[in-house]
Amino acid sequence: MTTAKRDTYTPETLLSVAVQVFNERGYDGTSMEHLSKAAGISKSSIYHHVTGKEELLRRAVSRALDGLFAVLEEPGAVRGRAVERVEYVTRRTVEVLVGELPYVTLLLRVRGNTRTERWALERRREFDHQVADLLKAAAADGDLRADVDIRLATRLLFGMVNSLVEWYRPHPGTGPEQLADAVVHMAFDGLRTAR
Amino acid sequence: MTTAKRDTYTPETLLSVAVQVFNERGYDGTSMEHLSKAAGISKSSIYHHVTGKEELLRRAVSRALDGLFAVLEEPGAVRGRAVERVEYVTRRTVEVLVGELPYVTLLLRVRGNTRTERWALERRREFDHQVADLLKAAAADGDLRADVDIRLATRLLFGMVNSLVEWYRPHPGTGPEQLADAVVHMAFDGLRTAR
């Protein structure tokens, strides 16, 4: 009975193993067999917790999405000038991304083959739209340079932020706060001293 | 004789088909059979042009790398203040990326399982180092904000630029020049009007 050795498995520990395997093998390339081996529990034990791998995917990307959407409800995101709010959201998005790195990594790799994946893509787009709306409001306030193309700026901002999942690894001197500072300063103030 | 119908195949057309298949299926997931089907020529006809799929990979990523390294030799990259040079290189990198989109996309997806892939990764790192050196020189000239962390700035700059392969599709009003302008302005001047 290999299933007995880890009867302390919780949905939470199973989820963290599943996310790791999804990120390594891709969601499409992951079978229940792979999950069972990685978790060290039988497939039937996994089915005790979830209906299948799609439920694990949904839980995992929900964790990332909930973290991101919660940012939009924080006081810094809803009060003050739009430009301050969008800087705040950018900073906090970086922090959520670093705090939930494997979950956000999975979310960003979702491609849309299943219902859950399409739902996740739709939610990501909704988040991007809300940030784009903040940028539009900041432009209307005259707080963005007149030549900024909002659509492009939103893409580039997320391009920069989302790239973190590919290269960021925590190390002394570059914690989430320093990283968030670097992103916000580069995106909003630029690297260059004033011309 | 299905092989006879396209005896006008050149190494160049074969390469463009191979890059498309590599980008769709991943290099590891592509067999000579897949390449043969996509190109509509027999495997032996492919072997007439190249020794195998790794040679096609090498040619494809070479095309991307040659384009990128050529930028570093252009007058705008070697003359003038470092900050102007790094802005120039950023702008031209975006243009090469858009001009050689499938080839650069493949280069950026290379993971390092074969000798050719490791070589490509090494060349990419060399390119990144040269840009980081330009940023360092610009900082030494006092042309970058004092709080800029060069290592992080280099990563974020390439994060933003490289994200283009995931979302950029040419459309009216956003050609390579507009895109390059948007990237350079955001990275060096920031989105925000002066505080």
Q: Is B4 on the interface with A (CB under 8 A)?
A: no
Cα–Cα dist B57/A173, whole Å: 38
Fold for the domain defined by B8-54: Arc Repressor Mutant, subunit A (1.10.10)
Amino acid at A12: E
**Per this entry, what is the length of chain A?**
195
Fold for the domain defined by B60-189: Tetracycline Repressor; domain 2 (1.10.357)
Cα–Cα dist B143/B32, whole Å: 51
Kindly state the DSSP code that residue B141 receives in the 8-state scheme: T
Cα–Cα dist B21/B35, whole Å: 7
Phi, then psi, of A179 in degrees rounded to 5: -65, -45
Percentage of chain B beyond pLDDT 90 is 83
Region B93-111: what's the mean pLDDT? 95
DSSP β-bridge partners for residue B174:
B171
Cα–Cα dist A100/A186, whole Å: 23
CB B137 within 8 A of CB A187: no
Cα–Cα dist A157/A18, whole Å: 29
Q: Is B174 on the interface with A (CB under 8 A)?
A: yes
Residues of chain A with pLDDT under 70: 1-8, 195
Closest CA to B135 of B144, B126, B127, B125: B144
Boundaries of every domain in chain A? 2-50, 62-189
Fold for the domain defined by A2-50: Arc Repressor Mutant, subunit A (1.10.10)
What the block records as the tokens of A176 is 């989430």
Question: What pLDDT is attached to residue A171?
Answer: 79
Cα–Cα dist B7/A193, whole Å: 58
Judging contacts by C-beta atoms under 8 Å, the chain B residues touching residue A168 are 155
Region for residue B40 given its phi and psi (left: phi exceeds 0; alpha: psi -120 to 50; beta: otherwise): left
DSSP β-bridge partners for residue A149:
none
End-to-end C-alpha distance for chain A, whole angstroms: 71
Q: Is A97 on the interface with B (CB under 8 A)?
A: no
Sign of CA dihedral A116, A121, A122, A128: positive
Pick the CATH number of A62-189 from 1.10.357.10, 3.40.605.10, 3.30.360.10, 2.40.70.10: 1.10.357.10
Burial of B193 (0-12, 13-18, 19+ CB in 10 A): middle
CA distances to A162, B93, B125, B136 from B129, in Å: 22, 14, 6, 10
pLDDT in tens, B42-73: 999 999 889 999 999 999 999 999 999 999 99
Measure CB to CB from residue A192 to each of B143, B155, B163 and give the nearest one.
B143
Judging contacts by C-beta atoms under 8 Å, the chain A residues touching residue B182 are 148-149, 152-153, 156
Determine the Cα angle at B170 with ends B165 and B174, to 5°. 110
What the block records as the tokens of A136 is 């539009």
Cα–Cα dist B94/B98, whole Å: 6
Judging contacts by C-beta atoms under 8 Å, the chain A residues touching residue B181 are 147
Which residues have C-beta within 8 Å of that of residue B47, sequence separation ≥ 6?
Answer: none
Determine the Cα angle at B123 with ends B122 and B126, to 5°. 90
Between positions 151 and 170 of A, the ones with CB within 8 A of B are: 152-153, 155-160, 162-164, 166-168
Question: What pLDDT is attached to residue B10?
Answer: 77
Cα–Cα dist B3/A178, whole Å: 59
Q: Is A128 on the interface with B (CB under 8 A)?
A: no
Measure CB to CB from residue A144 to each of B164, B168, B192 and give the nearest one.
B192
- Looking at the predicted structure, is the pLDDT value of residue B129 above 60? yes
Q: Is A172 on the interface with B (CB under 8 A)?
A: no
- Looking at the predicted structure, is the pLDDT value of residue B162 above 60? yes
**Per this entry, what is the length of chain B?**
195
Closest CA to B7 of B42, B57, B52: B42
Q: How many of the other CB atoms lie within 10 Å of CB of A69? A: 14
Amino acid at B4: A
- Looking at the predicted structure, is the pLDDT value of residue B2 above 70? no
